[in-house]
Structure 1
């Protein structure tokens, strides 16, 4: 009796898989079972009487199931021995989350037990809620079991709580102990927001009060792209008041090094020689380059805006001169508006300890600006040596010079 097996409409012999057919018994043995084998198989057998042929067919519905688990369930939560923080007098929920492997007769057992510290082996069954199951895959199921402590008492902190999960292979356990939660003191909760608000308000007040200083610091020290030499008419606006030592700039020859060492040359003359004569910068001097007959205030403001640097030689005479202070104050205003302008102060007599004795007194804006603007301090013994820190710092503070120097 010959039997032919089909999967759907395809003979099993034509399938590209390992099958073992036993013709004598008519049984079909799938040597290795795969997930696509979940299908309908048919077996055909030829039969009949003399002169009459019969074909008998039967259908077999095949389901594919995973292999049964070979190990006990895996407790995911709690993981091992854990300590949980609780509030005395409040309820607390113990959660046990377990992953079970596949079983034909699936009946997961998950239970919570409690035991006191004196005899841990005496387990007391706790009242639990209904199981919650979640199918992760055909081979795994997640089971969650809760146990609720209605009111946590001090003696509950001495207990050990055990979650036990079991299947046909074996059992698994995880343990939990309770610890009193460290309370947050009321004054900490109240003080932290208050301190934060006070700090924010204080920061706002400081920024408001020191806004001028912060703006000048940012614009003086923050690097900005240097404007080209053709975008401004002058490289340096040199502002000063003539020193008490009488000196005629036109009579100051360059002479020898020894001659210069023995001559008490004012700094304004030295700077003019160095900046214009040796370094090749386009210098603006009020007594030389200001066109007479114009509006002094407008002309000064315009020249500052057309200059890349404003250098002010500060002294007691300078800070007591209304015209000189006007140049300084105009430069401060221009610095707050033009990122490409830089202002440099040179203290000729050292930085004074106090500015309160000046007559007339300085404006508040000028006084505050003098504390933050970049500055250099001059001493007469530095003029002869071009490698002193003063001249190196001055050269570094000057704008970029692309033309050839004298």
Structure 2
């Protein structure tokens, strides 16, 4: 049949420098033909193909271990006697894997002589690729076999009938590269010449299979190799296909003069011997015949073994008035029956250009307004709250049983530090701030009632008891913090306020850092933690002097909400 090809390749081998073709006698084992060494492989164009770096007729036809990746070198030899070229790097659709060459899709240009070097051994192999349409045989087509789990079936080596029955011996079957042999643990498996008989099909039978058989013609021996994929499915479907993206009659919008794509998504249950049918049908109500689909195509988007989902599309380059009065039917069919779904088109209302511009501008301006307003509120939140209190006053102090709005906790003063404090505090000492500025602003201008230990608590009592009682009778405690405060017994007052904070939900602490604080490693743990967590206001010297400064607004913001009269004037000025 292909005598010219058969004789040409051995001649090529003889012409190549350094290549020897050796024929030798070997014993007949497991049905192998005796008397000659095979000259190479015959394979079919369009198939995938594997060629191992080993002598022919092996029990394992490939090993994809990465340990071979850098130990095997493949070359291709050409008839002109030029230098052999390395192969397997993906060029010409030839890929090196493990110790074999993989041809994902054979072409006739792949015919030729190949050699491989592994360790100190060099092996020459011949490959003859035959085009299917160049032969008179019709048994080449199938390379995928579908089997039903639990049933009995067989796998036939493709193209066996295309070769003279007297010229070949039983087929050697390989599953995932390993020779298939009869096994007493699998009595349902039988080898019958060209067939692999599975009396019971199991899920594990799904694999890549290879069938080899020897073929001789005109005293030349070849190995014919075919590869096929076996898939194992569950049960065949008993229902017609189903259209997934619309049911019955559905109407979609289309714009005149614009292109349009119709899409029909159909699910087909598994059928072994059926090819799904899906197409679009056009029915024009005015009986015209000039409506036609310009392009139809199908693609499989899902195939899970139990069925497949196919999307079938139809395309129009330009929608006309005739399309609007026509009906488009998606027709899907399998062996169990057929299903249809109907689409109608309606004219899409044009979008007014200026109106769309106004809408977009309005959306943009709204977003800008929202973000800008949010930013303004965040920055001026304190002023907004204070303004609200002025125009919508209410009193949170009514009925709470407290006597003072705030207890003032501060350190005792030393005249020797007044000059330094005056310089760092913008002309204001800590004593001046506590005894003059705070009362002038909170009591005289805002109308709050403050509690000073030295002014409002009768002398003669125990210090600790007086502090605890004063704090419990106050709604806030204002702590004027400084290095002097941290190193003084006043820490007890801060600790007492923190404890009260834990038991009274309405009670709050107001921390004012009059001067930077030193390291606080020696402080009680609860005090140190509170100073790190609670927010504190910072006295900024002359910047904080006037009553409209951010500092005094923050102080007032944290004080209790009550009906007060705000008088103008700057504290201490």
TM-score, L = length of structure 1: 0.44
TM-score, L = length of structure 2: 0.33
Higher relative contact order (CA 8 A, sep 6+): 1
